[in-house]
Amino acid sequence: MITEEKNSQIKEHLLKQLSNFPEDQRSAIKEKIISMNTTEMEEFLKQNNLNYNKEASSQQECIFCSIANKKIKSYILDENEDYLAILELNPISQGHTLILPKKHTPEAELKDNIMDFAKKVALKISKKLKPKDIQFSKNEVLGHGTVDVLPVYGEETNLERKKATNDELISIQNKLAKEEKKE
């Protein structure tokens, strides 16, 4: 059972993440977070496999660490020893991918080889989905650096995100996961 104080700390931590959600969903999510009592918060944490360590003050395994440790389902496109490439659940365009370090690393400390891995994934996206261009941007959420790999087809002028369906994500994952036939 979490305390009222712990519940407040968790709420504060979750509210800091709101900028990562689509703008049209932020106010509803904010209201939901604010209204959760301790029992509802515990259930939310369980449902989302979020582990708030009872001994640590307000430390939680961030969402990206949970994904990298495969505690949370994701749509994996590629991985190596250091990085994981997953489809963005709220993509700006088809094939929008996040590159995650498998170890919690702030954006400022991301190694140069993350871009090599991102470019490898971008090449696969380029071959299979045929965008006009692919853009890269480094970001940080909860202190975890990431790289967005954003295919540009021409309609991404306002950078609006939409929630992808499970079927859409599986379809893109399957397209990008198929191995090239060697001739």
Q: What is the pLDDT of residues 31-69, one digit of tens each?
A: 888 888 888 888 877 766 566 654 443 445 678 888 888
Tally the domains of the chain.
2
For the chain, give the mean pLDDT: 82
Percent of the chain with pLDDT over 90: 36
Q: Are residues 25 and 95 in the same domain?
A: no
Question: Distances from the Cα of 75 to the Cαs of 7, 30, 41, in angstroms?
Answer: 30, 26, 26
d(C-alpha 14, C-alpha 35), whole Å: 13
- Determine the pLDDT at residue 22: 61
Residue-level pLDDT at 79:
94
Whether 139 and 164 share a structural domain: yes
Question: Does pTM surpass 0.95?
Answer: no
Q: What range does the domain containing 75 cover?
A: 66-177
Confirm whether 103 is domain-assigned: yes
Query: Does the pLDDT value for residue 151 go beyond 70?
Result: yes
Q: Has residue 159 been placed in a domain?
A: yes
- Give the pLDDT of residue 52: 60
Res 147 pLDDT > 80: yes
Q: Is 148 left (phi over 0), alpha (psi -120 to 50) or beta?
A: beta
In a domain, residue 183? The reply is no
Q: What percent of the chain lies above the pLDDT cut of 70?
A: 81
Beta-carbon-side half-sphere exposure of residue 41 (alpha carbons within 13 Å) = 22
Confidence of residue 76 (pLDDT cuts 50, 70, 90): very high
Are residues 114 and 81 part of one domain?
Answer: yes
Alpha-carbon span 63 to 20, nearest angstrom: 12
Whether residue 97 is found in the same domain as residue 139: yes
**Residue 44 shares a structural domain with residue 124:** no
pLDDT digits (tens, 9 = 90+) for 94-125: 999 999 999 988 888 889 899 999 999 999 99
Q: Examine residue 30 and state whether it is found in any structural domain, yes or no.
A: yes
Q: Do 143 and 167 share a domain, yes or no? A: yes
Residue 134 and residue 81 share a domain: yes
